[in-house]
Amino acid sequence: MFAVTILGNNSALPMYNRHPTAQVVYVHDQLFLVDCGEGTQMQMTLYKIRRSKINHIFISHLHGDHYFGLVGLLSSYGLNGRTEDLWIYAPAPLRQILTLQFEAANVILPYPLHFIPLEGEQTIYEDKRVTISCFEVSHRIPCWGFLFREKKKPLKLLSEKLQEYAIPSSFYKQLKEGEDYITREGAVIKNEWVTEAPLPPLSYAYCADTAYMESIAEKLKGVTLLYHETTYLANAEAKAASRAHSTTIQAATVALKANAKRLLIGHFSSRYEVLDEFLNETRPVFENTSLAIEGVTYLVR
């Protein structure tokens, strides 16, 4: 499963039982936490997130609504006896903030905590399935988005053809990587006779808090699922600009220009109790848009 579960969809002031930003990204059996507003650990309990499966946490920027729940989560991991390594990818000043708080509590975490400061645009995580990179967006303080991109998938084997050519299963791995098979008799079975192209790699982009920025669309060309903030409705464009946030129309425009497959919008201002208008404004520009609703999981596909 490649998907994202929303734990918080509100902007800075928690209201209407909407919470500050946090998301869990599933890439098959791995869980990644993206931002961690106050109360994230309680939201994890509410929505039955298997927090022990999280080994990597990404913090976009140091406005409190994106990280004030982190030190509580890290402390709870300690109290729960976690021993597995945990990696934090975050703006550099967070390291000292965490250190001071653990020192003040005289806490020594029972697990290794690794801190990787975000810098520029680069790959920050990679395994056999996925590459995660950070990219700078435009906010009032240094702020990064994160792009989760599946790696190129192996070729798909055509089981009928495998039988037809009597290829031993011990060679399947090489076939998936594009090799031809050569029989004992020396005959060449061409790879393309027994395989077909894999599904294209999928991708999820989290654009954090940002003013409208056309270059984001360039960078994310062809992204499968694009999360873009819509703190404000269209008529608050000046306010959005002054706070380095985005409106519905701006988010939809980024999705359109990026040729995204689907748009997910969130980080709603507390001035809006009812959210319908966010869809009403976004969909005429970019039809395949969904509201980020807490507790809901959105597949990347």
* Contacting residues toward a second copy, per CB under 8 A: 12-15, 19, 38-39, 41-42, 45, 62-65, 68-69, 71-72, 75-76, 79-80, 91, 93-94, 96-97, 100-101, 103-106, 140-141
Please name every residue paired with 172 in a beta bridge, in sequence order, or none if there are none: none
Q: Which amino acid is at 116?
A: I
**At closest approach, how far in Å is the CB of 95 from a second copy?**
11
Q: Which is nearer to a second copy, 109 or 293 (CB)?
A: 109
C-alpha 89/C-alpha 233 separation (Å) is 31
In the complex with a second copy, the residue whose CB is nearer, 232 or 298, is: 232
Minimal distance, residue 53 CB to a second copy, in Å:
18
CB of 210 to a second copy, least distance (A): 16
65 annotated active-site = yes
Residue 208 main-chain phi, psi, to 5 deg? 60, -150
Q: Which residues have C-beta within 8 Å of that of residue 264, sequence separation ≥ 6? A: 4, 225, 226, 227, 228, 289, 290, 291, 292, 298
Q: Which is nearer to a second copy, 73 or 223 (CB)?
A: 73
Within 8 A by CB and 6+ apart from 156, the residues are 176, 195, 196, 197, 198, 199
Question: Which residue from 168, 261, 181, 266 is spatially nearest to 222, judged by alpha carbons?
Answer: 261
Minimum distance from residue 86 beta carbon to a second copy (Å): 16
DSSP 55: E
Smallest gap from Cβ 103 to a second copy, in A, equals 8
Task: Write the burial class of residue 122 (CB in 10 Å: 0-12 exposed, 13-18 middle, 19+ buried).
Answer: exposed
Nearest residue (CB) to a second copy, 109 versus 299: 109
Catalytic residue among 35, 65, 127, 276: 65
User: Does the CA dihedral 63-229-300-17 come out positive or negative?
Assistant: positive
**CB-neighbour burial class of residue 79 (10 A; exposed 0-12, middle 13-18, buried 19+):** exposed
What is the closest distance, in whole angstroms, from the C-beta atom of residue 275 to a second copy in the complex?
A: 18
- Looking only at the bridges linking them, the beta strands covering 30-36 and 22-27 are antiparallel
Q: Which is nearer to a second copy, 61 or 228 (CB)?
A: 61
Here the tokens at position 65 are 């609504």
Smaller CB separation from a second copy, 93 or 198: 93
Q: Would you name the residues annotated as active-site residues?
A: 65
